[in-house]
Amino acid sequence: MRTTTTPRPRIAVTLGDPAGIGPELIAALLSRPATVQSADIVLISDEAELRMAGEDAGTPVTYRTEPADGFPLLHDRSAHRPAGPFERRKATAAGGRWALGNLRTALDMAGRGEVDAIVFAPLNKTSLHLAGMAESDELRWFEEVLGVTGFTSELNVLPGLWTARVTSHVSIAEVDAGITHENVKKPGRLLDRVLRDSGLDAPRIAVCALNPHAGENGAFGRHELDIIGPATAELAAEGIAVQGPFPSDTIFLRAKAGEFDGVLTMYHDQGQIAMKLMGFDGGVTIAGGLPLPICTPAHGTAFEVTGKGIANTGSIQNAFDLAVRIAGRQAGRVEGSLESRTGPAA
């Protein structure tokens, strides 16, 4: 059960890969009074990393390791820290071990019902794999650690627009095989559910075609006629406000104009290119299908600007605000540890 009576969501925050801009982003985030007032924040880091974060951001992080003023600081994986300082601005096994260790602590807290959501600063996949992560990305690693067996998918968010995708981190040559009826319907259902969790009562979803011009009635491919169109109709029959498939070269113009709240794309870059052009400095990635919201900026570790004091904080602020909003809505209907929850809520 909840270990506090506060009505505010409880958010675990990790600083991401220590070689990149993550630590300074978190320091800047925590310097804002509105952020501090919106949630009960637990930092999963250590004092050396927080000092570095404050120096990079030009604003110190106030923390505590025992009752006092400041954010609670929790770190019990000191074996993952190298003897000296982290090497900056490059992918390293040490940085990957540190980032994974901190995230595992956050997931352990979530499993015990001690936090309602997790926000993490950018990770570097090369560092994670150098550190021994066998999974293709952090979402698959989250599944493994949490024991999640249901459908999960990365969702990308800008203010007013969400995207999900049918295939994700696979070769473009493998996309065709991944376009099936069930593979279209699963992320469609997930996108509808998470949009509702974010506060929309009746989200409007558009489905992208795979082929140019939506296949031109079969002239450029039959995916739209044989798979995507029928799957979209089945989602609509379930009560989801979904339309399509639409040509992917125009659907984001309609979504940007406010016609849709979400877009279901067929492969990674079909949505990511559009979203990053529309709002690179504000995008958020949420791990959909897990038992709690886990949010991060949609950009990377930006080694080239680390420590220069110019890292944009728009995405980390949006990630934090989204985690607070979803966790706050869920807290009103779901309590207890992850083991007591009957199904994924994000």
Averaged pLDDT for residues 117-133: 97
How many other C-beta atoms can be found within 10 angstroms of the C-beta atom of residue 323?
Answer: 29
pLDDT in tens, 10-63: 999 999 999 999 999 999 999 999 999 999 999 999 888 999 999 999 999 988
Higher pLDDT, 25 or 341: 25
Picking from 175, 164, 173, 159, the residue whose alpha carbon sits closest to that of residue 139 is 164
Tell me, what's the pLDDT at 97? Answer: 94
Judged against a pLDDT cut of 70, whether residue 254 lies above it is answered with yes
Q: Give the least confident one: 256-260, 306-310, 338-342.
A: 338-342
- The half-sphere exposure of 328 on its side-chain side, counting CA atoms within 13 A, is 14
Q: What integer best gives the mean pLDDT of the chain?
A: 91
Percentage of residues of the chain with pLDDT beyond 70? 91
Distance CA 317, CA 34 (A): 11
Judged against a pLDDT cut of 90, whether residue 249 lies above it is answered with yes
Averaged pLDDT for residues 159-186: 96
Largest Cα–Cα separation, the chain: 69
Judged against a pLDDT cut of 90, whether residue 346 lies above it is answered with no
How many other C-beta atoms can be found within 10 angstroms of the C-beta atom of residue 132?
Answer: 10
Judged against a pLDDT cut of 90, whether residue 3 lies above it is answered with no
- Six token digits for residue 22: 């993550």
For the chain, which domains are there? 1-150+289-346 (3.40.718.10), 160-281 (3.40.718.10)
Q: What one-character-per-residue DSSP string does 81-114 give?
A: S-SSPPPPSS--HHHHHHHHHHHHHHHHHHHTTS
Distance CA 60, CA 258 (A): 40
pTM of the model: 0.90
Higher pLDDT, 70 or 173: 173
Tell me, what's the pLDDT at 78? Answer: 55
- Six token digits for residue 288: 């959909």
Q: Give the least confident one: 34-48, 53-67, 132-146, 192-206.
A: 53-67
Averaged pLDDT for residues 117-140: 96
Compute CA distances 97 → 101, 126, 129, 139, whole Å: 6, 11, 9, 16
pLDDT in tens, 85-119: 899 999 999 999 999 999 999 999 999 999 999 99
Distance CA 231, CA 267 (A): 16
The alpha carbon of residue 96 and the mean position of all alpha carbons in its chain are separated, in whole angstroms, by 18
**Residues 230 and 181: beta-carbon distance below 8 Å:** yes
- Three-state DSSP state, 32: coil
- Six token digits for residue 278: 């529309």
**Residues 298 and 283: beta-carbon distance below 8 Å:** yes
Tell me, what's the pLDDT at 102? Answer: 94
**Residues 156 and 162: beta-carbon distance below 8 Å:** yes
Distance CA 140, CA 136 (A): 7
Averaged pLDDT for residues 174-179: 97
